């Protein structure tokens, strides 16, 4: 499977005002606050804002999927990409990846404790589609039909 990806859509407003490293709204953040913002912008398009996946094949972190794996394994998957997920290596600062993983683990812990997961969709976020594919709602919900 090709790892050549491109950003197909950005929901609503704001992407063109700055790139990943120009996100001034992230500059003052750290810890879970930074992880939450990184997750919502770069991960929620597939994994859902509340950790319940919206893209077929993406793990649902709120259900504990992949959470048994050590941090090092998960960071390698994030950096290198896995399956339909693109690589984030050299696209986002390493600290953003680490803090996003911390936020993912927080989602899983809150879900396991039966805490409410009421995260709303951010104003804008990334959605990824393999090169050469047209995006439609039907494709997004079932990218690999039989």
CATH number of 5-12+24-141: 1.10.760.10
Instruction: Say what the pTM is.
Output: 0.70
Q: Which long-range contacts (CB under 8 A, 24 or more apart) does 132-141 make?
A: 135/8, 135/9, 140/54, 140/55, 141/56
Nearest to 58 by CA among 42, 38, 34, 70: 42
Work out the number of other CB atoms within 10 angstroms of the CB of residue 103: 23
Q: Write down the pLDDT at residue 27.
A: 83
Instruction: Write down the domain spans for the chain.
Output: 5-12+24-141
Digit-by-digit pLDDT tens for the chain (146 residues) are 333 333 333 332 333 334 444 556 788 899 999 999 999 999 998 899 999 998 888 999 999 889 999 999 999 999 999 888 889 999 999 999 999 999 999 999 988 888 777 677 777 666 666 555 555 555 555 555 55
């Amino acid at each position: 499977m090709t790892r050549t990806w491109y950003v197909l859509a950005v929901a609503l407003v704001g992407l063109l005002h700055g790139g990943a490293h120009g996100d001034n709204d992230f500059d003052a953040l750290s810890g879970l606050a930074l992880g939450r913002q990184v997750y919502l912008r770069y991960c929620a398009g597939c994994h859902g804002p509340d950790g319940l996946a919206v893209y077929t094949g993406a793990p649902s972190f709120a259900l504990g999927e992949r959470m048994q794996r050590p941090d090092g394994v998960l960071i390698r998957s994030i950096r290198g990409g896995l399956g339909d997920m693109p690589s984030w290596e050299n696209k986002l600062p390493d600290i953003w990846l680490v803090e996003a993983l911390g936020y993912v683990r927080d989602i899983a812990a809150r879900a396991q404790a039966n805490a409410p997961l009421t995260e709303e969709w951010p104003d804008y976020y990334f959605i990824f589609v393999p090169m050469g594919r047209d995006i439609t709602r039907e494709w997004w919900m079932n990218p690999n039909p039989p």
